[in-house]
């Protein structure tokens, strides 16, 4: 498994798609209202030192993933317990994104189809990809970025005639509190989700590759999200934006140039689904890798199918309705995600720094 190697470019593409994933389909930082684009930019700035901390942790233990690092720092028992926490997080995030994919497709394109059908199709595609490994996912990500990246730019350019800058004026009309709430929302979803890469980035080329992949992926993916969200608010206005389950689809449907170019939302759906596919695959890979490391298996591949089927089943039962899902995501994810995405990684990094310096002192003393 550890013989796999992904290039820096593939790592960047994986992070871009993982960040954009379901984010481009859903409202981002909705609490900030018309200032959501500022909230997203602030979240990017705050995420930079967080990603530097992630990268530093990986560079301290090159060739190891988070589960290996935890055992090296805290020992087998406590290290495996912490690993179980991150494994459950990866599994739950995969469950949420898979359900989002099902809701997205059923709501927009296949209203008469049972939601389990599209979820099963996607999860089996993810099984195939995960069994091939992180290197194959990196190649797919590179290909998908070539297709996906131009679409938001083209959509924004075509929507310029329909944009109304009065929709974002005056800035900070509702005060600073909504902006801070929106910034926290964007920091947790989608930028904080990148903690998953600590569990799968065991195949990077060099010690510095994690810095390139995470920081450049953050900047490129984050700017794309900020640009798309700003365009959506300029076209729809903050009230209609907040009311829409999938504002990206709504604004893409407004693109029309004579009789030659319309129905651009179909391309938007395809681009969104490919990104979601990559995000679910990364979550599934992280969860399977965590289970393998916790129970001491040599490889994660033989448990991919049972974990994927369990993920699909939980996705079906996790929410009753889309409204119930929205309430849970908006009201409770902060308290659940924040410790795992930010607090625990920083504490682990501090412990890792102390452990590394102690080992270096011992080695220097022996020398």
Res. 214: pLDDT tops 80: yes
146 Cβ partners below 8 Å, 6+ apart?
Answer: none
| pLDDT per position as a tens digit, 330-356 | 777 778 899 999 999 999 999 999 999
Tokens representing residue 291 in the block: 């289970």
5 Cβ partners below 8 Å, 6+ apart?
Answer: 135, 203, 204, 205
- Whether the Cβ atoms of residue 97 and residue 105 lie closer than 8 Å to each other: no
Tokens representing residue 33 in the block: 């209202």
| pLDDT per position as a tens digit, 140-170 | 999 999 888 888 778 888 888 889 999 998 8
| Per-residue pLDDT, 332 | 75
| pLDDT per position as a tens digit, 258-311 | 655 566 677 788 888 899 999 999 999 999 999 999 999 989 999 999 999 999
- Whether the Cβ atoms of residue 253 and residue 46 lie closer than 8 Å to each other: no
Banded pLDDT at 324 (limits 50, 70, 90): confident
Encode burial over 190-222: b for 16+ CB neighbours within 10 A, e otherwise: bbbbbbbbbbbbbbbeeeebbbbbbbbbbbbbb
| Per-residue pLDDT, 261 | 59
Residue 257 has what DSSP assignment? E
| pLDDT per position as a tens digit, 234-249 | 999 888 888 888 888 8
The model carries a pTM of: 0.94
Instruction: Determine the number of helices (DSSP H) and then strands (DSSP E) in the chain.
Output: 16, 2
Query: Rounded distance, CA 42 to CA 302, Å?
Result: 42
| Per-residue pLDDT, 1 | 46
Query: Rounded distance, CA 51 to CA 263, Å?
Result: 38
| pLDDT per position as a tens digit, 97-145 | 999 999 998 988 888 889 999 999 999 999 999 999 999 999 999 999 9
| Per-residue pLDDT, 268 | 81
Q: Which domains does the chain show, CATH number per domain?
A: 8-366 (1.20.1740.10)
- How many Cα atoms are found within 13 Å in the side-chain-facing hemisphere of 238? 20
303 Cβ partners below 8 Å, 6+ apart?
Answer: 288, 291, 292, 297
| Per-residue pLDDT, 112 | 87
| Per-residue pLDDT, 38 | 95
- Whether the Cβ atoms of residue 127 and residue 268 lie closer than 8 Å to each other: no
Query: Rounded distance, CA 113 to CA 321, Å?
Result: 16
| pLDDT per position as a tens digit, 16-68 | 999 987 777 788 888 898 999 999 999 999 999 999 999 999 999 988 999 99
Give the number of residues written for the chain.
367
| Per-residue pLDDT, 366 | 65
Closest to 17 in 3D by CA, of 198, 114, 151, 181: 151
∠ CA 324-330-333, nearest 5°, is 100
């Amino acid at each position: 498994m550890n013989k796999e190697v992904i290039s820096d470019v593939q790592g960047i593409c994986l992070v871009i798609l993982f960040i954009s994933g379901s984010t481009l389909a859903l409202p981002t930082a909705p609490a900030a209202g018309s200032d959501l684009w500022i909230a997203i930019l602030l979240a990017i700035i705050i995420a930079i030192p967080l990603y530097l901390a992630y990268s530093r942790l990986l560079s301290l233990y090159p060739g190891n993933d988070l589960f290996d690092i935890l055992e090296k720092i805290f020992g087998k028992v406590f290290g495996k317990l912490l690993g179980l926490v991150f494994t459950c997080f990866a599994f739950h995030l995969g469950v949420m994104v898979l359900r989002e994919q099902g809701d997205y497709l059923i709501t927009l394109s296949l209203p008469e189809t049972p939601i389990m059908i599209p979820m099963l199709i996607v999860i089996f595609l993810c099984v195939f990809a995960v069994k091939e490994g992180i290197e194959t996912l990196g190649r797919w990500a590179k290909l998908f970025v070539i297709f996906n990246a131009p679409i938001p730019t083209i959509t924004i350019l075509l929507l310029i005639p329909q944009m109304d800058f009065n929709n974002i004026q005056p800035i900070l009309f509702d005060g600073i509190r909504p902006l801070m709430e929106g910034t926290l929302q964007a920091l947790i979803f989608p930028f904080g989700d990148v903690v998953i890469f600590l569990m799968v980035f065991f195949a990077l080329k060099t010690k510095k590759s994690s810095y390139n992949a995470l920081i450049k992926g953050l900047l490129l993916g984050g700017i794309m999200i900020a640009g798309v969200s700003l365009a959506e608010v300029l076209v729809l206005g903050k009230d209609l934006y907040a009311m829409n389950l999938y504002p990206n689809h709504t604004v893409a449907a407004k693109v029309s140039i004579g009789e030659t170019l319309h129905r651009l939302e179909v391309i938007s759906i395809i681009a969104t689904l490919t990104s979601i596919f990559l995000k679910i695959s990364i979550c599934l890979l992280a969860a399977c890798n965590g289970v393998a490391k916790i129970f001491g298996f040599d490889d994660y591949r033989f448990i991919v199918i049972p974990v994927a089927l369990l993920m699909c089943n939980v996705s079906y039962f996790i929410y009753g309705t889309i409204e119930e899902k929205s309430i849970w995501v908006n009201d409770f994810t902060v308290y659940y995600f924040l410790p795992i995405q930010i607090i625990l990684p920083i504490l682990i990094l501090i412990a890792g720094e102390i452990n590394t310096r102690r080992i270096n002192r011992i080695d220097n003393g022996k020398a």
